Homo-oligomer: A and B are copies of this chain.
Amino acid sequence: MLPGDMALPAAAAGGEIAALLTDLFVVLLAAKLGDELFKRIHQPAIVGEILAGVLVGPSLLGLVEPGEVLEVFAELGVVFLLFWVGLETRLSEMREVGGTALGVGILGVVLPFVAGVGFALAIGEGTATAVFVGVALVATSVGITSAVLIELGVLSGRAGRTILAAAVIDDILAMLLLAVAVGLGEEAGFDVVGLVATLSLAVGFVLFFALGGTQLLQRQPRLLHTPRFSESPLLPAVILCLGLAAFAAHIGLAAIIGAFLAGLMVAETKEQHPIEDEIAPLYAFFPPFFFAFIGMEVELGELADLETLAFLTALTALAGATKYAGARLGARSLGTDEAHVVGLGMVPRGEVGIIVAGLGTAAGVVGQQLFVVIVGMSVLTTLLIPPLLRRAVQRGVGGPPEP
């Protein structure tokens, strides 16, 4: 592309920036093509985006290396995804499913955790490692399921709301288990007082913004839309989203919990201003980076021996079966069809399993093979569930007919 030596120094002007812009271009183009292709073959678009990430990532073509910048774009992807989900959700609707969601959240955490710990102990791992495997099996990636439910137009159905509320509870429990796991891994032991304080802060944060925040904006929508501010409440809303996401991440929750709460709050002002039209482009731009990034994390080369594949298959089956069983049991009051949708919807591990695996490696209790297998399991649950969920929704809850 560079015609002569004299061009090189000048090109170096934006050399690094040029490379990063190229990464963003390649990832977005690949994700969009994967998305379009999977829509044509009547499959969930996000599966196409994840596979596009596998294709351009280090495993196959090696066009793009997942670095810090892409990670931030991926994180903003899931942040804007959950902000959008919050915008589409009314707190009153969440309250209706609260009891059921609590059952789904707790059972959907306990079963996979016990199974993961038991499985790891059975194959000869130590306690600290076993606890990490348990936590990796616990974490649900609500981003994946939300995206599929949005695509099918049933996010605001009863099953969709139950999944959302359960995912918030799930994340709080997972955070506590993770604190325990990291404590064990570093042999720091338990600090029960600290654990209770962490739990209180997390629950307090969620309740404060879910209840107080929505009340405040319901009564004072002009806080976001005051005519003294310029035309659009877009930036105030986005700033609120980033602020709560950062705060949630600082107290050990997933950033997306904060983004979801911000969405719930802003949703209360929708009658004053149709803000969804303005959030939609951000929701179109960022999430493809999230899905493609998950795919880029897969290390196909490392998975290519029989023992690892067998391990991966077993762990994936265990992760899927126990989460499905726990969540479905918790949702049994919704009836067979919707309980099935809830059970499936809680299974994808997505980025959360990958983060847990990374933390375990950092704590020195998750080895290379186990890391690769946990990442593989997270991506496999994420790839296998959307088609099943699509079918379940179309049959059970009544989505759009198969074209």
A residues contacting B by CB (< 8 A) are 1-7, 9-14, 16-18, 20-22, 24-25, 28-29, 32, 35-36, 39, 68-69, 71-72, 75-76, 79, 175-176, 178-180, 182-183, 186, 188, 190-191, 193-195, 197-198, 200-201, 229-230, 232, 234-236, 238-239, 242-243, 245-247, 249-252, 254-255, 277-282, 284-285, 288, 355-356, 359, 362-363
Contact = CB atoms under 8 A, between A and B. Distances in A.
Instruction: Count identical subunits in the complex.
Output: 2
Contacts of A284: 232, 234-235, 278
Given A25-B246, A281-B278, A198 B6 contact: yes
B36 A229 contact: yes
Residue among A7, A9, A10, A79 facing the most chain B CB atoms (10 A cut-off): A10
Given A11-B250, A69-B68, A251-B11, A230 B36 contact: yes
Contacts of A16: 68
Nearest to A254: B14
Given A7-B179, A18-B246, 10 more contacts: A4-B193, A9-B183, A9-B363, A10-B179, A11-B251, A13-B359, A20-B72, A21-B246, A25-B242, A25-B243
B252 A7 contact: yes
Given A17-B75, A278-B280, A252 B4 contact: no
B235 A24 contact: no
Nearest to A33: B239
A339 B14 CA distance: 32
Nearest to A278: B281
A294 to B, nearest CB: 15
Contact of A282 (B1, B71, B281, B359): B281
Contacts of A249: 11, 14, 17-18, 21
A194 B74 CA distance: 39
Interface centre among A29, A188, A236 (most CB of B within 10 A): A29
A171 to B, nearest CB: 11
A39 B193 contact: no
Contact of A11 (B72, B75, B252, B288): B252
A293 to B, nearest CB: 12
Contacts of A232: 284
Contacts of A179: 6-7, 9-10
Contact of A22 (B250, B281, B356): B250
Given A249-B18, A250-B11, A252-B11, A236 B198 contact: no
A4 B183 CA distance: 12
A11 B29 CA distance: 34
By Cβ-Cβ distance, the 7 closest A-B pairs, closest first, are A4-B194, A9-B182, A3-B197, A18-B249, A6-B194, A10-B252, A21-B246
